[in-house]
Chains A and B, each alone.
Chain A
Amino acid sequence: MASGSGGEDVWIPSVCGMCPDQCGILVHRVDGVVTKIEGNPRSPLGRGRLCARGLAGIQLLYDPHRLNQPLRRGNPEKGIGVDPRWQPISWDEALEAIVERLKQVRAEDPHRLLLCGTPASPAPLAFALGVFMPAFDSPNGFVCDERPNAGVEHMLARSLHGSISMYPDPDFCEYLLLFGADCTSGATAEKMADARVRGMRGVAVEPFLSPAAEKADEWLPIRPGSEGALACALLNLLLNEYRLFDAEYVRRHTDGPYLVRPDGAHARDTASGKPLVWDAAAGHARPFDEDGGDVAIEGTYVVDGEECRSVFELLREAVRRWTPEAAAEATTIHAQTIRGVAREFGEAARIGSTVTIEGRELPLRPAAAVCGPGAYGHDNGRPTALAIALLNEVVGAGDVPGGLLGSGAVSLGRPQTGLPRWVPCADSDGLLQSEPTPENRTDDWPAFDGRFAFDPRPKVLIDCGSNLLMGAAGPERVATLKECFVISVSLYSDETAEALADIVLPDASYLERLDPPQQSSPAGRGDWACQVRQPAVPPLRQRRHFSEVLLEIGQRLGIADAVNARTNIFYGLRLPHTLDPEQRCSWEEMVDRICQGGFGPEHGLAWFRENGVLTWPKRLEEVYWKPFDAARVPLRYEWLAGWQPCRAGRPQIGFDLQAVSYPVPWHASQTCENPWLDEVSQSEPYSYFICLNPRTAAAKGIADGDPIWVESTAGRRVRGRARLTEGVHPEVVAIGGNGGHWARGMPVARGQGAFFNALLTFDLEQPGPTPLAIDGDARVRVYKE
């Protein structure tokens, strides 16, 4: 496009905000109008390349359906489908009404303020949950995602990798086993393409031939929710039949050699209380961290008159019931195929091999098994995700070249300052205990008083762009929040706003706001990146950045001193960058402090505005920390005993199918409202349709394109058009994520695709036999309209 006559023509470095990946962008502004968004080649995040969402951000900025001023509900009635009869009000009126409510709650019980945010906006989410909520004295902040059970992944990543998420090593992996996971798109897309070209073999286990499975060499369609049975069978074959495991890794880097008494507790040294291992050379037990001869990982040993077995031995025992034949019955995958995958995976790991990187010899285990939402998104998600994670551990592929790595598990800081620093460390039993990162440090955090739970009767709810009603919390459950005062902070008058909000505040999009720097890095080797999101244009109309609004609310509530104190703690500010209690900083000043506090006075906001991104190389021991650290990974064999098929996987008379959802890579959150991305989905064969296997459809008289209903056992149903595809398991109906909006305020998205979460039942009885997990699938029947 031609630039304006003699006017402004600038490129502004900033950070994408269309999904949680935070790629670096350059925004082209000509005469005050954003004319293009490109990837920032200087940023390690995206390396100058953007996905469809990131490129389409202009359509979010200028969408005429965006909220442009605060609104007050004119209709006292609330509920799904009710017209809110919005009445425009001034910011002053809106904040006055909000502050009045918040003052009441704070006086009665601050815990009854509930705030939820979206993972798509990590920086504003961090300020709201990490600063404002503690300053208000409410611990009831949470993240609402579209898919349930992300907590399962985070917990396992903490427990096994000292991180919050995991990814396969894109630089050395040669065999990638994906369980309902997508490692092909997003920030790793380029490196994974390199891996495919150099011959990495990919096997995708999932019920739908998703865009990720499309790129695998082999698609193994599985009965959804049975991924854990497959993983247990693979473990059984590796440990008990093929004996393809890394004994040295198990001995040194896991609790595998720890002796367990018949009652399930660790056998401990009477003097030190430390867990005991069996010294095979000396023929007696000794504390795990004492020097001695070779330690046994298999076998039964008598300690203090009791027969003790090692954790590793118990793990072998726990998976023994999962013969390939038993798993075949559970998963619909042929037993011979399961044997083949186990052998391929175990052999691909090349146990015992090493690689020299930067002059240092490290173990090489070029095989990784990855558990994604398709596998952990069930009520059996915890044992399933553990079994998959253990595939990496038993072949020695945890946080070593080629294997499964914790994302950003170790930070040794910038070479100049050694900050920020966090490293995995061991507890007194020698087990991995990750040091809190600055983002979630726990010193001076509100003490846990047992009420850190969803209060079913909050007085005030602030929904920061998560559109709770369409999230994994379940629409009916959320709709019961009618009684409370709901503030919706959003880009659009979305479903949650229309059904529940008393007041709606027009948020600034990522192209209109300033966010503090966040440290992140792409998968594998390369550079750390720290970038500041800066506005490409000032907020249009009356839109305001919610972090700034929270600052003002804090001042109006009289808790600005607490906000300052929490800012110091949360962003790790040290003298001289700390905020004094009585100081009243603007948001810009605050972000400047955070920049200087983290990166020195020479790297204030002005530096980031000019340069966009601060980078420094990742060190080898940051990428592959296992060989450099003594902390052991707990194998948690006892969780596997409880594995059983997920609720939606159990047959019920009249409900012959299982409904699953899958992520659509060119959508996230509310992007169906983006007309460029909507145009993609309109032309693409699957994402706006409900996918059925042709054989399944034929038996029901359903033809391609027919309008159909999908109805759950609880009578919930969604409507859509049928797409017949061989790429779906015959027992399954597959629905793309992010579809099915009904809000009047999102007319582009309205009616496009199907709203999968409407099929799910969420109540306090739903969580499965293992904690932290609910079933993200539904047992359904399908019929023509």
Chain B
Amino acid sequence: MRQGMVIDLKRCIGCFACQIACKAEHGTRPGTVWARVIKREYGTFPEVRRVSLPLLCMHCRKAPCVEVCPTGATHKRADGIVTIDADKCVGCRYCVMVCPFGSRHYQDADHTYFRGREPDPYEARAYAQHPTGVVEKCDFCVERVDRGLDPACVVNCPTRARTFGDLHDRESEVSRLIDERGAFRLHEELETCPSVFYLPP
């Protein structure tokens, strides 16, 4: 089994709901964005296209972050999900440097979203789950996946652009979409074999 995700750029409207759905699910700290969206323009006026590209941890099969982690904090599970054990992470940030997708975030400061204010009742609960001095990233919502649920960004996507499932199962929806819609991955030339696939816009 290898858990993976397909993001349909034809459906995606670049609305940032994934970014906030992730924030709402995990209550991450200010500046830490596990699920990002970047926008790129192509062409010159008036022949211009813009593409919104949602990014998250690619859960690479040959994950460079796993290779460089000196303590074994970054770990690949049997189902292909790359996780970080905060107790083992020493905050060396080698993984941040080596990730080709910029998907890792070092938790440096203990500040709140309302600058200079004490954590509000929500933040007080949320940040208790996010120690400082360590690296964080998208974990495909392992706690949900282990309960048989899809990741939060998948469940919430307003355009149903995201599909989650087993890449090894030829019958799965993710496999079908990859086969039928000409899926591609980012930075294939780096040969990290990401588990996140994109369908063309």
Measured CB to CB, the residues of A under 8 A from B are 1-2, 30, 33-39, 46, 48-52, 55-56, 58-59, 61-65, 184-185, 189-190, 192-193, 196-197, 209, 211, 214-215, 219-221, 665-666, 675-677, 679-680, 683-686, 693, 695, 725-730, 747-748
- A4 vs B17: C-alpha distance in the bound complex, in angstroms? 27
8 Å CB contact of B13 from A193, A683, A685: A193
- A84 vs B163: C-alpha distance in the bound complex, in angstroms? 52
Q: Quick check: B19 and A1 within 8 Å, CB to CB?
A: no
Q: Which of B89-134 contact A (CB under 8 A)?
A: 113-115, 117, 120-123, 125-126, 129
- A221 vs B47: C-alpha distance in the bound complex, in angstroms? 9
Q: Quick check: A55 and B158 within 8 Å, CB to CB?
A: no
Q: Report the nearest B residue to A680, measured CB to CB.
A: B16
- A185 vs B16: C-alpha distance in the bound complex, in angstroms? 11
Residues of B within 8 A of A220 (CB): 46
Q: Quick check: B41 and A726 within 8 Å, CB to CB?
A: yes
Q: In whole Å, how far is A769's beta carbon from the nearest beta carbon of chain B?
A: 30
8 Å CB contact of B122 from A35, A680, A683, A727: A35
Residues of A within 8 A of B31 (CB): 679
Given contacts A1-B126, A59-B122, A728-B45, 11 further A-B contacts (CB under 8 A): A35-B125, A36-B25, A51-B17, A58-B24, A62-B121, A193-B10, A193-B11, A197-B11, A679-B30, A679-B31, A729-B45
Q: Quick check: B122 and A50 within 8 Å, CB to CB?
A: no
- A50 vs B157: C-alpha distance in the bound complex, in angstroms? 8
Sample 10 A-B pairs with CB under 8 A, ordered by A number: A2-B129, A35-B125, A49-B17, A51-B15, A55-B23, A189-B13, A211-B52, A680-B16, A680-B19, A748-B114
- A185 vs B17: C-alpha distance in the bound complex, in angstroms? 11
8 Å CB contact of A197 from B10, B43, B50: B10
Q: Quick check: B8 and A50 within 8 Å, CB to CB?
A: no
Residues of B within 8 A of A211 (CB): 13-15, 52
Q: Which of B58-116 contact A (CB under 8 A)?
A: 113-115
Closest 6 CB pairs of A and B: A193-B159, A62-B120, A675-B113, A193-B11, A55-B20, A189-B158
B8, B13, B48, B52 interface centre (most CB from chain A within 10 Å)? B13
Q: Quick check: A64 and B125 within 8 Å, CB to CB?
A: no
8 Å CB contact of A219 from B11, B36, B48, B155: B48
With A55-B20, A219-B48, A748-B114 known as contacts, the answer to whether A190 contacts B159 (CB < 8 A) is yes
Residues of B within 8 A of A686 (CB): 39
Q: Report the nearest B residue to A55, measured CB to CB.
A: B20
The count of A-to-B residue pairs whose CB atoms sit within 8 angstroms is: 148
Residues of A within 8 A of B10 (CB): 193, 196-197
Residues of B within 8 A of A36 (CB): 24-25
With A51-B17, A209-B48 known as contacts, the answer to whether A684 contacts B158 (CB < 8 A) is no
- A51 vs B52: C-alpha distance in the bound complex, in angstroms? 16
Residues of B within 8 A of A677 (CB): 20
Q: Quick check: A33 and B125 within 8 Å, CB to CB?
A: yes
Q: Quick check: B114 and A63 within 8 Å, CB to CB?
A: yes
Q: Which of B142-158 contact A (CB under 8 A)?
A: 155-158
Q: Report the nearest A residue to B19, measured CB to CB.
A: A680
Residues of B within 8 A of A725 (CB): 41
Q: Quick check: B114 and A679 within 8 Å, CB to CB?
A: no
- A37 vs B44: C-alpha distance in the bound complex, in angstroms? 41
Q: Which of B1-41 contact A (CB under 8 A)?
A: 8, 10-11, 13-17, 19-21, 23-25, 27, 30-31, 33, 36-37, 39, 41
| Interface membership of B138, Cβ < 8 A | no
- A686 vs B41: C-alpha distance in the bound complex, in angstroms? 12
Q: In whole Å, how far is A483's beta carbon from the nearest beta carbon of chain B?
A: 36
Instruction: Using C-beta atoms within 8 Å of the partner chain, give the interface range for chain B.
Output: 35 or more
Q: Quick check: A214 and B14 within 8 Å, CB to CB?
A: yes
- A727 vs B14: C-alpha distance in the bound complex, in angstroms? 16
8 Å CB contact of B45 from A62, A65, A189, A221: A221
Q: Quick check: B27 and A52 within 8 Å, CB to CB?
A: no
Q: Quick check: A185 and B13 within 8 Å, CB to CB?
A: yes
8 Å CB contact of B21 from A55, A192, A214: A55
Q: In whole Å, how far is B74's beta carbon from the nearest beta carbon of chain A?
A: 23
With A33-B125, A48-B155, A727-B41 known as contacts, the answer to whether A185 contacts B160 (CB < 8 A) is no
Q: Quick check: B125 and A185 within 8 Å, CB to CB?
A: no
Q: Quick check: A50 and B158 within 8 Å, CB to CB?
A: yes
Q: Report the nearest B residue to A41, measured CB to CB.
A: B155
Residues of B within 8 A of A2 (CB): 129
Q: In whole Å, how far is A249's beta carbon from the nearest beta carbon of chain B?
A: 32
Residues of A within 8 A of B45 (CB): 221, 693, 695, 726-730
Q: Quick check: B16 and A52 within 8 Å, CB to CB?
A: yes
Q: Quick check: A37 and B24 within 8 Å, CB to CB?
A: yes
- A729 vs B45: C-alpha distance in the bound complex, in angstroms? 8
| Interface membership of B161, Cβ < 8 A | yes
8 Å CB contact of B15 from A33, A52, A730: A52
Q: Quick check: B125 and A59 within 8 Å, CB to CB?
A: no
8 Å CB contact of B17 from A52, A675, A679, A685: A52
- A695 vs B24: C-alpha distance in the bound complex, in angstroms? 41
- A728 vs B44: C-alpha distance in the bound complex, in angstroms? 10
Q: In whole Å, how far is A737's beta carbon from the nearest beta carbon of chain B?
A: 15
Q: Quick check: B24 and A55 within 8 Å, CB to CB?
A: yes
Residues of B within 8 A of A65 (CB): 114
Q: Quick check: A215 and B24 within 8 Å, CB to CB?
A: no
Q: Quick check: B19 and A52 within 8 Å, CB to CB?
A: yes
- A684 vs B37: C-alpha distance in the bound complex, in angstroms? 8
Q: Quick check: B125 and A30 within 8 Å, CB to CB?
A: yes
Q: Report the nearest A residue to B50, measured CB to CB.
A: A214
Q: Quick check: A1 and B129 within 8 Å, CB to CB?
A: yes
- A30 vs B124: C-alpha distance in the bound complex, in angstroms? 13
- A127 vs B43: C-alpha distance in the bound complex, in angstroms? 51
Residues of A within 8 A of B156 (CB): 38-39, 48-50, 55
- A135 vs B177: C-alpha distance in the bound complex, in angstroms? 59
Residues of B within 8 A of A680 (CB): 16, 19-20
With A49-B158, A58-B122, A726-B43 known as contacts, the answer to whether A64 contacts B19 (CB < 8 A) is no
